[in-house]
């Protein structure tokens, strides 16, 4: 089915594939394992759902790494595409959740098509890796591990000709836009205590129309092309994650989500907080955890502590100031829960006697004590 038509291209969707058909010649740069790199002879770019995101271990998946061309050939033959002339991106994301965004400026048109899921595979650049490649074979560095699922794939179409260097630069700009989208959605890494910048399996395909005119040489943030790339990619990534994962700014308004990259979840957070409350108060807290956890002022105070903890880890704030910083902002968190902001000095004094630190357990334990301190006084 034709789902979009822009300058020099058509966008089609059928079953588990989205295909961009070039109506005129394009230059392509992509991460496709077979037709990847820089090419001027392709007929299109495709994005294919090869499995479900969770619990789907198809036999066909085993052949992708061993014989990527066989995978490309089988997909292209099924959908009537030329495997020699197609760049193929693979994903577990649903093609019906693809998001298309376009922007124009003075005849320059940029179209971004993104699919994505980050629930289980979001990561931060520099996180510990679990694969090592040698002699064409990937080996695990951590023994048997589950195959990670979750990928952000973006196809970007530009209706002007770009130099080879500008094609490469467009990948940089698109990658920054993707990272910005994840930052604004406050997506946590699943492999470290940092915020995610992407997933471990992200792919991209970028096409620029070969017009025969003087090619564009810049795709960085100072150029209008770079701006259009940034806007379209960021919007399309956000929109597809809203569809695939129900991941929105509203869904991320949660103290637990702020803290989950430090190894805590709703269950363990409730248990930890309740351990500092008497039996009657802990039952009340447990029954009302959801609205407390999503309260805007509480989330703001939790977020402030998380960000300050990051600043200390990054070396921006000196660790020797940690007691004053944590006790002050922990008191703000306690007051946001109790509603008794006139008690901030009391909360600060009480929290100053607690153990503080940036290691995951110590940090989350301090947060939980701040929660308990505030809720214990809420109905007094």
Is pLDDT of 278 > 70?
yes
> What is the structure's pLDDT at 139?
86
Per residue in 176-186, pLDDT tens?
999 999 999 99
Closest C-alpha to 237, from 187, 294, 169: 187
Cα radius of gyration (the chain): 24
26-30 and 17-22 beta bridge pairing:
unpaired
For the sheet containing 26-30, what is the strand order?
37-39, 26-30, 203-209, 152-158, 108-116, 99-105
Is pLDDT of 148 > 70?
no
Per residue in 230-274, pLDDT tens?
999 999 999 999 999 999 999 999 999 999 999 999 999 999 999
- Other C-beta atoms lying within 10 Å of the C-beta of residue 136: 7
Yes or no: say if 371 and 272 are a contact pair by the CB < 8 Å rule: no
Per residue in 85-109, pLDDT tens?
999 999 999 999 999 999 999 999 9
Between CA 331 and CA 348 the distance in angstroms is 5
Q: What burial class does residue 355 get, using C-beta atoms within 10 Å of its C-beta: 0-12 exposed, 13-18 middle, 19+ buried?
A: exposed
9-14 and 17-22 beta bridge pairing:
antiparallel
pLDDT tier, 54 (very low <50, low <70, confident <90, very high otherwise): low
Between CA 40 and CA 200 the distance in angstroms is 28
Per residue in 293-344, pLDDT tens?
999 999 999 999 999 999 999 999 999 999 999 999 999 999 999 999 999 9
Between CA 252 and CA 242 the distance in angstroms is 11
Between CA 193 and CA 120 the distance in angstroms is 14
Is pLDDT of 51 > 90?
no
> What is the structure's pLDDT at 150?
85
Yes or no: say if 112 and 154 are a contact pair by the CB < 8 Å rule: yes
Taking the model in full, what pTM does it have?
0.94
> What is the structure's pLDDT at 326?
99
Between CA 15 and CA 11 the distance in angstroms is 14
Domains parsed from the chain with CATH numbers = 2-245 (3.60.70), 255-378 (no CATH)
Per residue in 333-372, pLDDT tens?
999 999 999 999 999 999 999 999 999 999 999 999 999 9
């Amino acid at each position: 089915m034709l789902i979009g038509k822009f300058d020099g291209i058509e966008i089609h969707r059928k079953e588990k594939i989205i295909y961009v058909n070039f109506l005129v010649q394009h230059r392509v740069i992509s991460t496709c394992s077979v037709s990847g790199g820089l090419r001027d002879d392709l007929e299109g770019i495709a994005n294919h759902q090869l499995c479900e995101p969770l619990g789907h271990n198809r036999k066909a998946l085993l052949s992708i790494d061993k014989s990527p061309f066989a995978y490309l050939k089988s997909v292209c033959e099924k959908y009537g595409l030329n495997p020699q002339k197609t760049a193929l991106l693979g994903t577990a994301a649903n093609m019906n959740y693809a998001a298309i965004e376009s922007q124009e400026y003075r005849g320059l048109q940029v179209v971004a098509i993104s699919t994505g899921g980050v629930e289980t595979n979001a990561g931060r650049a520099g996180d510990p890796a679990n694969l090592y490649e040698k002699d064409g074979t990937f080996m695990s560095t951590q023994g048997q591990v589950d195959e990670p699922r979750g990928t952000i794939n973006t196809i970007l179409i530009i209706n002007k000709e770009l130099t080879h260097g500008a094609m490469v630069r467009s990948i940089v700009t698109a990658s920054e836009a993707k990272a910005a989208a994840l930052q604004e959605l406050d997506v946590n890494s699943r492999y470290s205590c940092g915020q995610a910048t992407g997933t471990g399996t992200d792919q991209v395909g970028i096409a620029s129309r070969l017009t025969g005119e003087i090619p564009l040489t810049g795709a960085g943030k100072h150029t209008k092309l770079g701006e259009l790339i940034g806007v379209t990619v960021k919007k399309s990534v956000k929109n597809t994650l809203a569809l695939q994962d129900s991941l929105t700014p509203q869904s991320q308004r949660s103290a637990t989500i702020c803290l989950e990259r430090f190894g805590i979840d709703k269950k363990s957070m409730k248990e930890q907080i309740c351990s500092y409350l008497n039996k009657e108060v802990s039952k009340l807290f447990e029954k009302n955890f959801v609205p407390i956890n999503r309260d805007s002022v509480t989330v703001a105070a939790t977020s402030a502590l998380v960000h300050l903890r990051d600043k200390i880890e990054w070396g921006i704030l000196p660790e020797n100031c940690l007691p004053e910083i944590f006790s002050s902002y922990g008191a703000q968190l306690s007051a946001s829960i109790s509603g008794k902001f006139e008690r901030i000095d009391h909360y600060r004094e009480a929290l100053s006697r607690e153990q503080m630190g940036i290691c995951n357990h110590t940090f989350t334990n301090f947060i939980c004590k701040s929660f308990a301190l505030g809720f214990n006084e809420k109905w007094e």
